[in-house]
Amino acid sequence: MKTVKYLFLIPGLLLPLSAGATLLPTESPVSVVLDFYRLNLQDSSSGGYDQSVKQYVTLTLQKNISDSISCNYDSDDTDQALCDIPRPCKTTENHSACLWGDNWVENDVNYYTKSQDIYDSWVNYRDAHTESQTDEMATVLVTLGNPPDELLPLRVTVINENGHWKINNVALIAQ
C-alpha cells in the first residue's frame, strides 16, 4: 500500500529530464525547403509567397529583410534611427548586400532567389538534398530550374524552432 501512495511522484521526477529535450521536426529539411519554393514561386496573385514566408521563414529573417527593404525604399514607416546605424556592406558582380542582424540582405532582388526575375523552369523544377544536419540546424542545397534553362543553386539554412524547420538564411552558390 505504501508504494501506491508515492506513485504520483514519478511523473514529477521525470519532468526535469524531458524539459531540456529538443522537439524534433516531423518533416525533413528537404521537404520543407522544396515546399517553401513551391509556394514562394507561385504567381503573386495566388498568395503563395506570403504563405511560404509565414509558414517557413524565421521571424528574425523576416524582420531583417523587412528592415532592409524599409531603409532601402524609404517607406512611410521607416525607422530612421535603425537606417542610420552603420553596417557592413559588400558588392558582388551582380548586386550589393548589407548585413542585417546575421543575414546579408541584397538590395534590389528577391532575397529567396537572389534575382529580380523568376524563370518558368524554377517554378516547375526543384531539386534538393541535405548537405548537413543536426537536431538544431540543417543545410539544404537546392537547385531551381532544369537544363538547358538557367539553373539557380542555393544553400538554404534551416533551424529547428519548436519542432518545425524554419528558413534562417539563403545564400547563392557561386557557379
Domain containing residue 32: CATH number = 3.10.450.50
Burial class (CB in 10 A: 0-12, 13-18, 19+), 41: buried
- Mean pLDDT of the region 145-160: 94
Higher-confidence residue: 84 or 175?
84
Residue 70 within any structural domain of the chain: yes
Query: Is there a domain that residue 14 lies in?
Result: no
How many other C-beta atoms are found inside a 10 Å radius of the C-beta of residue 96? 13
Q: What is the pLDDT of residue 60?
A: 97
pTM, rounded to two decimals: 0.82
Site of grid cell 543545410: 139
Note the pLDDT tens digit of each residue in 56-105. 999 999 999 998 988 877 666 667 888 888 999 999 777 889 999 999 99
Q: Per the domain annotation, does 56 fall within a domain?
A: yes
Is residue 10 situated within a structural domain? no
Average pLDDT over all residues of the chain: 86
Domain count, the chain: 1
Q: How far is CA 41 from CA 24, 61, 137, in A?
A: 28, 18, 24
- Extract the C-alpha cell encoding 43: 504567381
- With CA atoms as reference, report the closest residue to 41 among 121, 105, 142, 95: 121
Residue 3 covered by a domain:
no
C-beta neighbour count of 139 within 10 angstroms? 17
pLDDT of residue 4: 54
Contacts of 100 (CB under 8 A, 6+ apart): 64, 65, 67, 68, 87
Residue 12 in domain: no
Residue 17 located in a structural domain: no
Confirm whether 141 is domain-assigned. yes
- What is the span of the domain harbouring residue 93? 24-172
107 exposed, middle or buried (CB, 10 Å; 0-12, 13-18, 19+)? middle
